[in-house]
Structure 1
């Protein structure tokens, strides 16, 4: 199968989403598919043994000039009126200019003669998807990857909010679900969540979980990380909705109840924490809580492999349909996972309802109990201190990925033809 991939970015340092897209592309390559990647990363980036071409921004269009005029006006006036413009035009001038450039690049590369055109995005952008909507002659080959709920008012609480341009954004996603031949999602719960808002998701969807990505050479551990300790690691951005207060309280109560653990237990927060700086800055000098900002992705992988426990922290909510981008590599590290999140979550669905180290995100007592149980096993039976979930490793590897494309994707392509 020849796959033309349109990815908004393949720069692994710009977002967790881009890390996930690159892992997916690399595993498609490992699975033996013939790939060509068009990307809008704003700089030249090459992936090993893959044909990657940068789509350049069109800086000679009226839309580009309008977008810069808006940007400069907002900077000078300190008044953000882009939302008002989006309410009128549906999208920003920048978004439309970018989309036009991507659409032209897709058309220019049809001599590649792909069997499938696979659009990948990040955040709330979906630029490659909007570009494909401009090319109805290619819709029979189009598979759209929907990585998150969209638009923002269909997110589960507490993430949801209503944009001024909510109606046009809803119509946009409606068109994607109608026009794309195939829809793909990183999680089953996300597919079901979106299907409840957009019925066309039914009977044309496949699940493509985030992929395991392990770089050939692991980087040295940073100086702030201590080995051979009971280290609890939260790696990645702490979004506003993911409140670490209950986790911190649970850890501090654990130390108070088990004072002998103070010499060997550490709670690490590694990644951007701006949304919670008022809370976390209070603990910057705490001997058992280590807080560090952005760290290069390869180093994060090394820390995940060396930590005693990897933490998945989710929002206080009824449901979390998201599969965190770090989930596959946490599975690969083979370390126990401390899951702090809703009863209904994709991570809990995959780990299984019987997985012992889960608690609601606002239940400090349950989190503390799980930390104590993990510490006891780490202290007394270190050889048993493993996750041992080969089934989930297999779920996120290139062999399972190849099966999805060779069976499910091919079947849906054949139905359309």
Structure 2
């Protein structure tokens, strides 16, 4: 049987630039582990190689009208403080830089079409879907194109409390309507995101496939940061603290837990690791002896910490529904420590953990969060091994074996 070939067109494979890139790299590694022959075209703007995988850095197109217009736009903003994007993007939907990046990706597709893949997979990150836009202009690949949709798109279609409509969102909706029509398959990391997006773009219906963020462990650092004390009961949230994900209910609940169990003040810590610039002023008022805030920690060290802390936190927004599967969810499952899940009753994380999962609360229910922290602490005091959480069902769901089976279903 011939080895199936997959062409992957991805925006970034730099694991240090975003959670989306981390998820992309884990998916690529697990596809390789599943036995597929891969060619990865990436627009990371620097040379990066993944073990045993052929990776080609896409060169930026520097001799096009869009390139020069994008540079002129930047100069005008720098010199005169005039942001032309708010005038141009409502008309065109995207920036000159976006269109030039798309052209750069199209050039690479043309150059490497001789790879003759069985499947073409487009991956992106954040609010950008440049590889997907480029693929629209490459009809020869449409009958083997799987478009991976990692988040709702555009921002206009985000669930509450994300209520921002970006410039040119109507053009972005047109783009995704065309994408939904032309792709062969639409892959989503979560069931709830699939439901959300097919409700917005009906042409995705019948094309859906669920490929969750992957459990893949690369080289994990053996070092631990100086601020971590292994003998203490440590609750950690790792990840960006966005405006819509404030940590203050968790912090107040943690402080109340310490008031209720005073002896815990000597041996309990709350760690907040990740960008928290939006909440900088308020976090500056928090007592530092029990709450430790770090804006940045290397990816490998963060993974190491997730395995060493007592409890990992997944913090979601106050909302009716959270269709997102957090990129750190597989890391938390691999860590085999309890997850303190703070988010809506209807969320992908809760769906996977199960409605009977004990350590869940709405983000703002401080009384319940306090009680859960007390329960976890008492279990830790009795025996630290009580806090082991082994979910073989979820490990399998997030594994290369499951991924391989899902891909082979469509290729066969």
1:81, 1:307 → 2: CA distance?
A: 47
2:307, 2:320 → 1: CA distance?
A: 31
Residues 124-143 of structure 1: per-residue CA shift (max 9 Å, x gap):
11000000001112100110
Residues 5-40 of structure 1: per-residue CA shift (max 9 Å, x gap):
000000111111001100000011111110000000
Residues 357-383 of structure 1: per-residue CA shift (max 9 Å, x gap):
100011111111111111111111322
Q: Secondary structure at the match of 2:131?
A: helix
1:230, 1:287 → 2: CA distance?
A: 14
> How does 1:222-301 map onto structure 2 within 5 Å?
222-283=225-286, 286-301=288-303
Report deviation, 1:203.
Answer: 1.1
Q: Secondary structure at the match of 1:232?
A: strand
Partner of 1:415: none
Partner of 2:372: 370
Task: Give the gaps of 5 or more residues in structure 1.
Answer: 412-417
Report deviation, 1:75.
Answer: 2.0
Q: Secondary structure at the match of 2:326?
A: coil
Partner of 1:156: 159
Report deviation, 1:278.
Answer: 1.3
2:126, 2:74 → 1: CA distance?
A: 20
> How does 1:272-351 map onto structure 2 within 5 Å?
272-283=275-286, 286-351=288-353
Partner of 1:78: 81
Report deviation, 1:59.
Answer: 1.4
1:76, 1:250 → 2: CA distance?
A: 48
1:92, 1:219 → 2: CA distance?
A: 43
> Residue 194 of structure 1 is aligned with which of 186, 197, 208?
197
1:396, 1:49 → 2: CA distance?
A: 21
Q: Secondary structure at the match of 1:218?
A: coil
Report deviation, 1:282.
Answer: 1.4
> Residue 387 of structure 2 is aligned with which of 385, 388, 412?
385
Residues 114-165 of structure 1: per-residue CA shift (max 9 Å, x gap):
0011000001110000000011121001100000000111100111311231
1:397, 1:274 → 2: CA distance?
A: 34
Partner of 2:411: 410
1:395, 1:303 → 2: CA distance?
A: 23
2:353, 2:86 → 1: CA distance?
A: 40
2:134, 2:88 → 1: CA distance?
A: 20
1:348, 1:83 → 2: CA distance?
A: 38
Relative to the length of structure 2, the TM-score reads: 0.98
Report deviation, 1:217.
Answer: 4.4
Partner of 1:141: 144
Partner of 2:401: 399
Partner of 2:98: 95
Moved more, 109-118 or 214-223: 214-223
Moved over 3 A (4+): none
Report deviation, 1:224.
Answer: 1.1
Partner of 1:355: 357
Residues 304-353 of structure 1: per-residue CA shift (max 9 Å, x gap):
01010000000111110001101001000000000000000000000000
Partner of 2:33: 30
Task: Give the gaps of 5 or more residues in structure 2.
Answer: none
How many pairs align? 409
Report deviation, 1:54.
Answer: 0.4
1:160, 1:365 → 2: CA distance?
A: 28
Residues 359-415 of structure 1: per-residue CA shift (max 9 Å, x gap):
0011111111111111111111322211121111111110111111111x225xxxx
1:131, 1:62 → 2: CA distance?
A: 17
1:23, 1:160 → 2: CA distance?
A: 30
